[in-house]
């Protein structure tokens, strides 16, 4: 069982989605995350072992590489695609309650901002770390955000801004959320965002990259 989990983790880290995927070249023609996750479940490997011993460690490794500058956005996206291929087979176990999520994260790009690559990377990494993600998309209006938080009262909030001009909207959205949910944990990020800005607007934490977001969330639920 450990062998198949090791192979599954290798495929996720390397971005090997399925047997047909040509990338990475050294795994060409071999089963990918899709087939290996299915095979592991069919062999009776507990879903929580697949999550905790293969998927989460693999996404952690690629996240650490990204933080060090040893991996870049394309590699991250490929790893996230491979993880998502495995998660297709895992989701029924989350739905049934057989495997417990670590928590819920509501995430979105702030009003007026249409950039989504950074937000998508963070969302994929968070899901790969065992959280349920409610992705509100881009240009999120405050009404939509508050409605999602009302629906998921225990959720952590993640906000992204990729333009300096939309940082003001992030500040307004944090203020509105705090007014209705004073104790809400709010994680923010994006190219122009800084730790000083996080402190200024009263957000809970600033993450400079996806791995930083995952590490912060892991500490919250530890």
User: Within 10 Å of residue 13's Cβ, how many Cβ atoms?
Assistant: 25
* Domain at 104-221, CATH homologous superfamily: Cobalamin-binding domain (3.40.50.280)
Q: How confident is the model at residue 222, as a pLDDT? A: 81
Distances (CA, A) of 13 to 6, 48, 151, 162, 167: 11, 18, 34, 27, 33
Distance from C-alpha of 74 to C-alpha of 72, rounded to nearest angstrom: 6
pTM more than 0.75? yes
Distance of alpha carbon 86 from the chain centroid = 14
Tell me the pLDDT tens digit for each residue of 118-142. 899 899 889 888 899 999 999 999 9
Q: How confident is the model at residue 197, as a pLDDT? A: 98
Distance from C-alpha of 121 to C-alpha of 183, rounded to nearest angstrom: 26
**Cβ atoms of residues 11 and 32 within 8 Å:** yes
Distance from C-alpha of 15 to C-alpha of 170, rounded to nearest angstrom: 33
Asked if domains 2-96 and 104-221 share a fold, the reply is: no
Whether the pLDDT of residue 98 is over 90: the answer is no
Place 68 in a pLDDT band, splitting at 50, 70 and 90.
very high
Q: Who contacts 179 (Cβ-Cβ below 8 Å, separation ≥6)?
A: none
Distance from C-alpha of 135 to C-alpha of 24, rounded to nearest angstrom: 29
Whether the pLDDT of residue 220 is over 80: the answer is yes
Proportion of the chain above pLDDT 90, given as a percent:
85
Mean pLDDT in residue range 80-88: 93
- Residue 70: both structure tokens together: 């040893």
Q: How confident is the model at residue 192, as a pLDDT? A: 95
Give domain limits for the chain: 2-96, 104-221
Q: How confident is the model at residue 159, as a pLDDT? A: 98
Q: How confident is the model at residue 132, as a pLDDT? A: 92
Q: Which fold has domain 2-96?
A: 1.10.1240
Distance from C-alpha of 160 to C-alpha of 154, rounded to nearest angstrom: 20
- What is the pLDDT of the chain when averaged over all its residues? 94
């Amino acid at each position: 069982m450990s062998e198949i989990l090791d192979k599954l983790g290798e495929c996720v880290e390397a971005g090997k989605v399925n047997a047909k995927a040509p990338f990475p070249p050294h795994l060409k023609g071999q089963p990918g995350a899709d087939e290996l996750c299915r095979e592991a479940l069919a062999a009776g490997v507990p879903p929580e072992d697949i999550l905790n011993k293969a998927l989460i460690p693999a996404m952690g490794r690629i996240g650490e590489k990204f933080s060090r500058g040893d991996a870049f956005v394309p590699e991250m996206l490929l790893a996230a695609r491979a993880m998502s291929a495995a998660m297709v087979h895992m989701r029924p176990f989350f739905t049934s309650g057989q495997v417990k999520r670590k928590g819920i994260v509501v995430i979105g790009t702030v009003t007026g901002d249409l950039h989504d690559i950074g937000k998508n990377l963070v969302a994929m990494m968070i899901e790969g770390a065992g959280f349920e993600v409610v992705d509100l998309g881009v240009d999120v209006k405050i009404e939509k955000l508050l409605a999602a938080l009302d629906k998921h009262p225990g959720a952590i909030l993640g906000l992204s801004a990729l333009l300096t001009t939309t940082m003001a909207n992030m500040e307004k959205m944090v203020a509105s959320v705090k007014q209705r949910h004073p104790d809400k944990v709010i994680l923010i990020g994006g190219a122009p965002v800084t730790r000083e800005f996080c402190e200024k607007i009263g957000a809970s934490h600033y993450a400079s990259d996806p791995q930083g977001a995952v590490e912060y969330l892991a500490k919250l639920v530890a």
